[in-house]
């Protein structure tokens, strides 16, 4: 009897292990990679138009820091950074587009929060821009601090962390405000510059983008010094597909790793001859990293050669030589006082 019981218990245990393994395999491969390869493009959700982060030119060519996130994933997966189909989405459309499977990846100046990470069924990749919410006013208003905004009318987009932070900040500082809530980005910007509201609030990077691209004279507007929130902006994918999440995570990580290693668009080919073991692993000279991701061994080389490293992406899109004139600040490498720190590719 004891032998039969022991044998039956073993069978049950083996069956349970098999079910767990099958479930794990299903979670690990949710089919996005296969779908992308079959389709031949990455479907990427971006902002409708936020200069420096995602904006199309007259020919429909998209550029920006978030756009380069899309391109990095396409370079890693398909070997070609141009194989991206862009889906311009407003703040209220973005999550539904990802949840429904319309897009494979959301790279749209989106803040990573607990609620979005859990109840919305999303997984966020590495932070591509550490930001904070700010306030922009006309210089004619004569305001020097956000704490002088009691009674102001404030332009804000719905369905954003911005809207929630705005209410929290004014409540905490015992001030009143009148919200002017407008859904589309272009319309909320136009309302602010037309004088429908005293203040425009969004992420500080977005304020710099709006001032540089939309103001008739950028010098007529000032971004107040206070940052009233933490806004870690990161790409997102659907939960339930570990394989695709890993690919997006490491594609973005490779941008920062490349900067740490000193690998750039211009020297990536030469550094394939490097004796540095970390560089050899990263560029696929020493195989193994690509296999772990179910990608070509040149996945990271393709990212850097076609898109650049994180420093190149930052400076090209939002850095000091661009109309936004943003400093690296928190987005500098950890070795230079910032928060950008690559998980080791090894």
Answer yes or no: are the C-beta atoms of 88 and 46 closer than 8 Å.
yes
Q: Does domain 31-130+234-332 have CATH number 3.40.190.10?
A: yes
Backbone angles phi, psi at 172, to 5 degrees: -65, -30
Q: What is the pLDDT of residue 125?
A: 98
Distance in angstroms (rounded) separating the CA atoms of residues 35 and 232:
29
**Distances from the Cα of 49 to the Cαs of 55, 62, 184, 204, 220, in angstroms?**
4, 9, 10, 16, 22
Q: What is the pLDDT of residue 213?
A: 95
Burial profile 98-121: b = 16 or more Cβ within 10 angstroms, e = fewer: beeeebbbbbbbbbbbeebeeeee
Greater model confidence, 5 or 216: 216
Q: What is the pLDDT of residue 304?
A: 98
Q: Is the pLDDT of residue 200 over 50?
A: yes
Q: Do domains 31-130+234-332 and 131-231 have the same CATH topology?
A: yes
CA proximity to 109, closest of 231, 212, 214: 231
Calculate ∠ Cα 35-117-38, nearest 5°.
5
Where does the pLDDT of residue 275 fall: very low under 50, low under 70, confident under 90, or very high at 90 and above? very high
Answer yes or no: are the C-beta atoms of 105 and 234 closer than 8 Å.
no
Q: What is the pLDDT of residue 30?
A: 72
Tokens 């594609």 found at: 251
Encode pLDDT of 219-245 as tens digits.
999 999 999 999 999 999 999 999 999
Instruction: Calculate the CA 344 to chain-centre distance.
Output: 20
Q: What is the pLDDT of residue 172?
A: 97
* pLDDT cut 90: percent of the chain above it: 91
Distance in angstroms (rounded) separating the CA atoms of residues 322 and 22:
50
Where does the pLDDT of residue 28 fall: very low under 50, low under 70, confident under 90, or very high at 90 and above? low
Q: What is the pLDDT of residue 53?
A: 98
CATH: 3.40.190.10, 3.60.15.10, 3.30.565.10, 3.90.1300.10. Which one for 131-231? 3.40.190.10
Q: What is the pLDDT of residue 25?
A: 41
Q: Where exactly are the structural domains of the chain?
A: 31-130+234-332, 131-231
């Amino acid at each position: 009897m004891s032998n039969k019981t022991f044998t039956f218990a073993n069978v049950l245990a083996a069956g349970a292990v098999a079910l767990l393994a099958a479930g794990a395999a299903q979670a690990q491969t949710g089919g996005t990679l296969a779908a992308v390869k079959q389709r031949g493009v990455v479907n990427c959700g971006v902002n409708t138009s936020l200069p420096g982060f995602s904006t199309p030119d007259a020919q429909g060519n998209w550029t920006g820091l978030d756009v380069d996130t899309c391109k990095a994933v396409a370079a890693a997966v398909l070997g070609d950074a141009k194989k991206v189909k862009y889906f311009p989405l407003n703040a209220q459309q973005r999550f539904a587009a990802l949840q429904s499977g319309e897009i494979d990846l959301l790279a749209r100046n989106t803040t990573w929060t607990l609620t979005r990470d859990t109840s919305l069924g999303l997984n966020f990749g590495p932070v591509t821009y550490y930001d904070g919410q700010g306030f922009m006013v006309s210089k004619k208003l004569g305001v020097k601090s956000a704490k002088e905004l009691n009674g102001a009318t404030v332009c804000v987009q719905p369905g954003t962390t911005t809207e929630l932070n705005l209410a929290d900040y004014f409540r905490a500082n015992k001030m009143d405000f009148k919200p002017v809530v407008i859904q589309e980005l272009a319309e909320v910007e136009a309302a602010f510059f037309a004088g429908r509201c005293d203040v425009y609030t969004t992420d500080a990077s977005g304020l710099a983008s709006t001032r540089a691209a939309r103001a008739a004279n950028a010098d007529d507007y000032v971004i107040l010094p206070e940052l009233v929130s933490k806004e870690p902006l990161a790409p997102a994918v659907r939960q339930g597909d570990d394989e695709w999440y890993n690919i997006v995570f490491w594609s973005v990580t490779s941008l920062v790793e490349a900067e740490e290693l000193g690998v750039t668009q211009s020297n990536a080919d030469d550094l394939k001859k490097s004796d540095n073991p970390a560089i050899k692993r990263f560029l696929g000279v020493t195989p193994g990293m690509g296999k772990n991701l179910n990608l070509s061994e040149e996945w990271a080389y393709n990212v850097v050669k076609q898109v650049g490293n994180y420093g190149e992406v930052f400076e090209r899109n939002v850095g000091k030589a661009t109309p936004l004139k943003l400093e690296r600040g928190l987005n500098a490498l950890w070795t230079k006082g910032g928060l950008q720190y690559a998980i080791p590719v090894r």
